[in-house]
Amino acid sequence: MTDMTDSQRVQKRQQPKLLLKWSWRELWQGQLWPVAVALTLIIACVFALAALVSRVEKIMTDQGRSVLAADLVLVSNNPIEPTLLSKAEALGLTFSEQTRFGTMAFSEQQMQLISVKAVGNDFPLRGQLALQDLQRSQSKVNPGELWLSERLFSLLDVKQGDTVAIGDAELRVSGKIAQDPELSFNPFSQMPAVLIHENDVAATGAVQPGGRVQYRLYFMGSDDKLAAIQDFAPLEPGQRWLSETSQGRTGEFIDRARQYLSLTLILVILMATATLVLTCQHYTSTRVETVAMMKSLGASKRWLWRWLSGQLAMLFGLSAIAGLSIGWGLEVLLRLPLADILPDPLPDMGMSPLLISMFVALLVAIPGIGISLIRLLDAPAISVIQQQADRPKNNKAYALLLLPVAAALIWFGDNKLMWMTLAGIVVVLALLAFFGLVVLSLLRKRKWGPAMMLALSRISRSPLTTGAQLAALTSSLMLLAVIWLLRTDLLADWQQTLPIDAPNVFAINISAEQQQDYLAKLDQENIPHSEAYPVIRGRIVAVNGVDLLAKADDPEQRDEALRRELNFTWRETLPIHNDVLDGNWPEAGLAIKGVSVESGIAERLGLSVGDELGFNVNSQPFSVTVNSVRHVEWRNMRPNFYFIFTPDVMADLPATWLVSFRIESNQNDVVNQLGRDYPTVSLMDLRTMASRIQLMLQQVSLSLSVLAALGVLSGLLLVMTLLRLSMSQRQQEIKLYRTLGASRKRISATVWGEYGLMALIAGLMAVVGAEAIVAALVKWGFEMPPQWHPMLWIMLPTAAIGLVLFIISTMLKQLLQPLKS
């Protein structure tokens, strides 16, 4: 009895070693290694993508904040309250004050309306300010200094050291502003800028009660502290916050790029999850007999759980090490195309990619592997000698799906784009799977050759399995198409709104007498330019007889377009870069007083075709009828207007003219000569701003292309995994066909026909699904006009058939190999 007890103790001590050895052999010599590979790829892809997304987001955020000169800016029409400064200091935020106002600058020879920016010693908090004089350069404005934008030297006819009077103060010109980090674009309100120190504002006497003065407070600090200062200071009338996502054109494409990055990450996770689930299901299907045999030999369910838990722990540990290593290397490779434009040093990616990849892997693995293993352990011992196809399934295992669902609810929150994408994918897949079965049913009614008839019979024999295979193959093709199409549409939209040849200089205040000469001068210098637009300022005051200015008690609550004068123009035809959404522009020569309204202001003010609008120009009231509503792309740096009138409305009123044109880097002398030849014409030189926006666009575009390529590779991996597993499951059927006397040629033709047909149907359905999802995302998620992609209808089905041909050609010979005599 004692010997028996000792023997049992020895066996008990050796049992963990045996389990470990068995688990290791099962991992590498069994069918568990595909699951390990799938989990490794999930960790690697999510880590690489999350790391690159983290870096790109930080780069985009830094770029966006650099054009603000801070992390957050408060713009106010009234002086900043001291309590706000005290709160910022208490929070540990770095802050800087700025005062802006317009006034006249006088030199001995000339005078010019200018925009004065009075800054402190610590401006800017972000970005670079470059000031140059004849001997040196500096990055801070000191008291007593006056720095001019380059074109003011010719407009005021001054040089460094000359005296310029600004209000009551006389300041000596210290040099030129070589680079100002703050970007803005409004050719109608921009004036040449000068920089002075905030200590010199009082000496100018230009800031008076009731004057048009703007106060800005710049903040720099952590995001939580920035949120705290915003909560402490709710906006009052005449105030607004500026951040990297609210700063005009740069904020818009940064926000869209962020949405795309997040969406790409989610779609890659979905495709990687599908790959893991498929491989795990295949593994469990090959281990039913093993588990049944172990149960027949007396193994308890608890022991089996220990056996499988050891395998899973080893699998997850090895996958984590391999996945993180591969992911790190993959992230390095993904950065290679961006090497020339990424900042040096790179932003730190932090710990979030590691935590996200491990957390996602756990959330995916628990239900993805757990459901299959629970059902595997429920296999009865009799399965050793007889398959139990109709045995009851443990539906409680599906409760594990609550983990990723709960995580998605917390992660996505109120992100409408994500929920819209997921809901669209589910609906589209269900519809496409149904239509796929309908198409297959219709094909069976036609007469085909023996091989094709056998293939159709095989496909239609199990509609649920066929529907699942079609849905899986379609979804993988569709998701990779969605990733690439969204990237293509975003880049096309950005290139369209800010093309390489976009205008970068605006000439305004051109008198009627100078207009023809000015255009002739541009033509003489071979400078491409826009048409000349007459410009006159006025207000909209009424709609259908209702006074708009009397509708709101608080003037600050009125629409922004009602609180100021607007720039009006008139034309024989509408600009070619405006799209008419409703109504019609009258034919040339018809004396019909009308106005075309920009769609944004039409929506805000509730305007539509046929409404009668009241305007006031130079104290002269008049009324016209809305004849059309048009879409205006404000980001394209072209002359754009809220209201465009027919010539018979105001052509007789005095107006100045506007023209935009493009100046290359080697044509600086042309700009200076234009300033000297036409001193009364204001030149808005936006080349610095345009080049910086183009650089940001280049960075974001390349990043999106790299991320889209990774998403496509994940989709291709899913497709190849799906096809390989499906083919391996056909091995038993192929043996049966061979036993019944089917030739190798007939079997090959049947397999080619079956999978070729499924690939063609899946490819076509994937195109339909991708077009539908992308159109919905573009229209309601990214707020861009949707468009069709004709080449996709050829490329995706062709790619699907090509993948099938590749998989079949590599596996069919192997499947037939055991049948050789």
Average pLDDT (518-531) is 87
Look at residue 185 in the predicted model and tell me its pLDDT: 47
Look at residue 644 in the predicted model and tell me its pLDDT: 92
Angle at 731 between CA 730 and CA 736, to 5 degrees: 100
Look at residue 745 in the predicted model and tell me its pLDDT: 74
Instruction: Please give the Cα distance from 688 to 696 (Å, whole number).
Output: 12
Q: Are 230 and 241 in contact (CB under 8 A)?
A: yes
- DSSP track, 357-398: HHHHHHHHHHHHHHHHHHHHHT--GGGGTS--TTPPP-GGGG
Residue 274 has pLDDT above 60, yes or no: yes
Residue 322 has pLDDT above 60, yes or no: yes
Residue 188 has pLDDT above 60, yes or no: no
Look at residue 702 in the predicted model and tell me its pLDDT: 65
Average pLDDT (148-173) is 85
Instruction: Please give the Cα distance from 515 to 531 (Å, whole number).
Output: 11
Average pLDDT (751-762) is 76
Average pLDDT (704-710) is 63
Look at residue 298 in the predicted model and tell me its pLDDT: 74
Look at residue 10 in the predicted model and tell me its pLDDT: 47
**Least confident range of 11-25, 594-608, 612-626:** 11-25
Q: Whole-number mean pLDDT of the chain?
A: 76
Write the pLDDT tens digit of every residue in 190-246: 567 889 999 888 888 877 665 678 889 999 988 889 889 888 888 777 788 888 766
- Which CA distances in Å does 64 have to 17, 185, 344, 528? 57, 15, 17, 30
Residue 437 has pLDDT above 50, yes or no: yes
Residue 332 has pLDDT above 60, yes or no: yes
Write the pLDDT tens digit of every residue in 350-408: 788 888 888 888 888 888 777 877 777 777 766 555 555 555 555 677 777 788 778 77
Look at residue 626 in the predicted model and tell me its pLDDT: 92
- The pair of three-digit structure tokens given for residue 172, joined into one six-digit string: 């000596």
Q: Assign 3-class secondary structure to 417-441.
A: HHHHHHHHHHHHHHHHHHHHHHHHH
Average pLDDT (713-720) is 64
Look at residue 596 in the predicted model and tell me its pLDDT: 92
Radius of gyration of the chain, Cα coordinates, nearest whole angstrom: 35
- Which CA distances in Å does 385 have to 35, 292, 375, 381, 747? 27, 9, 18, 9, 29
Phi-psi region of 490 (alpha: psi -120 to 50; beta: other; left: phi over 0): alpha
Cα dihedral 646, 649, 653, 654 in deg (nearest 10): -20
Average pLDDT (562-583) is 84
Q: Which of the four pLDDT bands, split at 50, 70 and 90, describes residue 662?
A: confident
- The pair of three-digit structure tokens given for residue 369, joined into one six-digit string: 């592997």
Partner residues linked to 546 by β-bridges: 543
The DSSP bridge pattern shows strands 643-645 and 566-570 to be: parallel
- DSSP track, 140-196: SPPTT-EEE-HHHHHHHT--TT-EEEETTEEEEEEEEEEE-S-----TTT---EEEE
Residue 129 has pLDDT above 70, yes or no: yes
Average pLDDT (18-34) is 61
Look at residue 819 in the predicted model and tell me its pLDDT: 44
Partner residues linked to 171 by β-bridges: 164
- Which CA distances in Å does 432 have to 221, 756, 765? 50, 18, 6
Q: Which of the four pLDDT bands, split at 50, 70 and 90, describes residue 128?
A: confident
Look at residue 643 in the predicted model and tell me its pLDDT: 92
Look at residue 137 in the predicted model and tell me its pLDDT: 83
Angle at 308 between CA 304 and CA 310, to 5 degrees: 120
